[in-house]
Amino acid sequence: MPKLVPAPDEVSKPFWDAVNEKRLVAQFCLDCNRYQHPPQAVCARCDGRNLEFRSLSGKGKIYSWQVMHDTRVRQMQEHQPFLIAVVECDESPDVWLLTNLPGSEPNQFEVGDPVEVEFEEVGPGKFIPQFRVVRQ
């Protein structure tokens, strides 16, 4: 079964458009000077509408992780067990992205380890961000 492909909406389209060009961006509120992710129509903190997408370095660190053995998502069940990690981007503690940590096995990394973005093609021309542990 092919993997799930994100279906962007009006608000999330700039994020996925960038990802499909292998760039990582996040929404930034010019009124309260903070990032937010996932993108929303207004700033969830200040209700501000002056939002723009800013490029991210693609660098971050692992906030938490798990080994999924029994996901409810049908399209991922054939890949079990697989890793899922929460990544905090270096630009902001408010921008977290998920990843399956390609190239890593459990117990080869720890919370706080640095990661770097790459892009996985889940459909023709359709990508999702993934992160790989940076070996030091």
Partner 1 sequence: MWEHRGKVAFAGVGHAEVSRRWDEDVESSIGALAIRAATRAIEDCGLKLEDIDGIFSSPGPLGGAWAPRDVPTSITDRYQMTPGDLEDGVAKVSAAWLARNMGFSAPKVVEDRDVIIGTILNHAIDAVAEGRCDYALVVRPLNNFSGRYGQEGASDGLVSGPNQFQHPYGFSGPARIASLFQRYLWKYGRKHEELADFVVNNRRNGLMCEYSYYYQNRPEPLTREEYLNARWVTEPVNLYDCDMPVHTAAAFILTTADRARDLKNPPAYVLSRAGIRHRPRSVTASLEDLEEANAGFAARLYEDAGVGPKDLQFANLYDGFAVVTPMWVETFGLAEKGEALPWMTADRIAIEGSFPLNTAGGSNGVGRTHGVSLHYDSVLQIQGRANQRQVQNNGLCIALSGPPPDAPGAQILSADPAP
Q: How far is the CB of 114 from partner 1 (least distance, A)?
A: 16
CB of 108 to partner 1, least distance (A): 15
Query: Binder to partner 1 among 22, 46, 57, 81 (CB under 8 A)?
Result: 81
What's the chain's length in residues? 136
Which of 26, 1, 9 lies closest to 117 in space, CA to CA? 26
Q: Which of 30, 41, 46, 67 binds partner 1 (CB under 8 A)?
A: 67
**What single-letter DSSP state applies at residue 75?**
G
Per CB under 8 A, 135 contacts partner 1: no
| CB 119, min distance to partner 1, A | 12
User: 119: number of CA atoms within 13 Å, CB side?
Assistant: 18
Whole-number Å distance between alpha carbons of 13 and 133: 27
* Contact criterion met (CB below 8 Å) for 96 and 87: yes
The minimum distance between CB 51 and partner 1, in angstroms, equals: 15
Size of the site for partner 1 (CB under 8 A): 48
Q: How many CB atoms lie within 10 A of CB 84?
A: 15
Binding site for partner 1 (CB under 8 A): 1-9, 12, 36-38, 44, 63-76, 79-82, 84, 86, 93-100, 106, 110-111, 122-123, 128
